[in-house]
Structure 1
Amino acid sequence: MNFSNYLHSLTEEFTPIVEYTSKEDYIQIDLSVHQKILKEAHTLSSLWFQQFIENFVSSHNKKVAIGGYLEVRNLYNRSTYFTSTKINSRNIHLGIDIWSPAHTAVLLPLDGKIHSLQNNINHGDYGPTIIVEHEYQAQTFYSLYGHLSLTSLNGIEINSKLKAGEVLGYLGKPEENGDYAPHLHFQIIKDLEGNRGDYPGVCAAKDLEFYKSNCPDPNLLLKFK
């Protein structure tokens, strides 16, 4: 069984990773380069972006916006962390984002244990981040949770075991989450390549084929669509 089919087999239905547990509360959002409004300079402001997300969600009578896997985004142009050189400019999103208010609880989708944690403090980076290790059917893989609150890292012990549905942490505010509107970056990783507390969540086009294989669509697990 290939890795994508394996992931899909681990859950039978919609599996929430934030406290909103009804699939009807979610709506998919497009934050790609095709969104004309997101090409404007005011998208550099996390406050503007938060209001944009909130307006979109409320206008559809939903509670959570979700999406973004392999989405090409202008959002990263505001940070030199992603745009060091033209050939290495990173703008392809490798996880999914769950856009929800700060302090929203983050739930673990599967049993696992704490692999590592770190506060990634570059502008536009993850901020507080937790990586969980999972093992099923003799296969090991990892899930990454970025843009958490600083308090989410308190009292976390490496190798401590967690059950599916347990609260892992809470979404952070812009001043602690890398300067973004509050959201969760959720990513599946087959091989961490020796990383701890961090792993690329955005890639350059030249590296896309590798990362598509190593970081498959989280929706295989979550089944939100």
Structure 2
Amino acid sequence: MLNLIKNHLSPKFFSILGPSYSESDYVSLDLSDQKTSELNIDLSTEFALQEYLKMYLTSRDAKAAIGGYLEKRSLYDRSSYFGENSRSHKRNIHLGVDVWAEAGTPIYTPLHGKIHSQRDNLNFGDYGPTIILEHDLGGLKFYSLYGHLSRESLLNYKVGEEVSKGHPLAYLGTNEVNGNYAPHLHFQLILDMDDKTGDYPGVSSESDLDFYRNNCPDPNLLLNFKS
């Protein structure tokens, strides 16, 4: 199924933050547990990471940072929402890509779709306001998830409404509403929603990784960002 979807997709870079951002405005970012340990970033609150991101973008003359697919992170250790501390069951492997930019930044859809579902996921460390789109490429259905949005974003569309490629979908939320993270977008592809609505796991444990890696392919298939 994944190869069939690839055949319908454009190989061109798509700026998910809109046309005012060129590819050169984005820079790749490593937030793996090894990297954040080396940098000695205190991840117990969102503010230390927020300050690091500002410095990181300024030093690279960039407007946004992107990365994180299948990245193993200690970022989630601060929240009990991500499960047990045992190595195999703790959820700490990221299933989407994150796009780090200022709160209020608009988000654009890289592919035509319709609103499948939306919800404000309120757990500490969760997505906060979330929108899921359903896509149909020649009869092949799959989904894209947009997490850590502003609450106002949930008022823009109703379930079932269509959203055209390259049109504004939502805006990035502040840390107060986005699950207590530095402002960013969590963007994830999902082949089978398993009847879930408004939510889908964005982080996997090691024991479940084979399943989620197959069901949640690299979102860069739609963005074509070349780091």
Same fold per superposition (TM over 0.5): yes
Report the TM range for the smaller structure's normalisation.
over 0.9
Match of 1:84 in 2: 84
CA contact (8 A) 1:114 1:133 kept: yes
TM-score (norm 2): 0.94
The 5 Å alignment of 1:5-84 reads 6-7=5-6, 9-19=8-18, 20-37=20-37, 40=40, 42-84=42-84
Matched AA of 1:18 = L
Match of 2:164 in 1: 163
**Alpha-carbon distance between aligned partners in 2 of 1:8 and 1:49, rounded to the nearest angstrom:** 38
3-state SS in 1 of match to 2:73 = coil
CA contact (8 A) 2:8 2:137 kept: no
- Aligned-pair distance for 1:206? 0.6
Matched AA of 2:66 = I
Match of 1:221 in 2: 222
Q: Note the alpha carbon deviations across 1:24-81, whole angstroms, 9 max, x for none.
A: 1010010001114478572212111111111101101111100000000000000000
3-state SS in 2 of match to 1:71 = coil
- Higher alpha-carbon deviation: 182-191 or 52-61: 52-61
CA contact (8 A) 1:32 1:71 kept: yes
Q: Note the alpha carbon deviations across 1:137-194, whole angstroms, 9 max, x for none.
A: 1100000000000110114211001100111110000000000000000000000011
**Alpha-carbon distance between aligned partners in 2 of 1:200 and 1:161, rounded to the nearest angstrom:** 24
- Aligned-pair distance for 1:12? 2.5
Match of 1:95 in 2: 96
Q: CA RMSD in A?
A: 1.5
Gaps of 5+ in 1: none
Gaps of 5+ in 2: none
The 5 Å alignment of 1:122-161 reads 122-161=123-162
**Alpha-carbon distance between aligned partners in 1 of 2:126 and 2:92, rounded to the nearest angstrom:** 13
Q: Note the alpha carbon deviations across 1:67-119, whole angstroms, 9 max, x for none.
A: 00000000000000003352421000000000000000000111110000000
Say whether 1:201 aligns with 2:193: no
CA contact (8 A) 1:33 1:39 kept: no
3-state SS in 1 of match to 2:207 = helix
**Alpha-carbon distance between aligned partners in 2 of 1:75 and 1:33, rounded to the nearest angstrom:** 7
- Aligned-pair distance for 1:7? 3.1
- CA 1:4–1:66 in structure 2 vs 1: closer, same or farther (change >3 Å)? farther
Match of 2:189 in 1: 188
TM-score (norm 1): 0.95
**Alpha-carbon distance between aligned partners in 1 of 2:32 and 2:161, rounded to the nearest angstrom:** 37
CA contact (8 A) 1:147 1:183 kept: yes
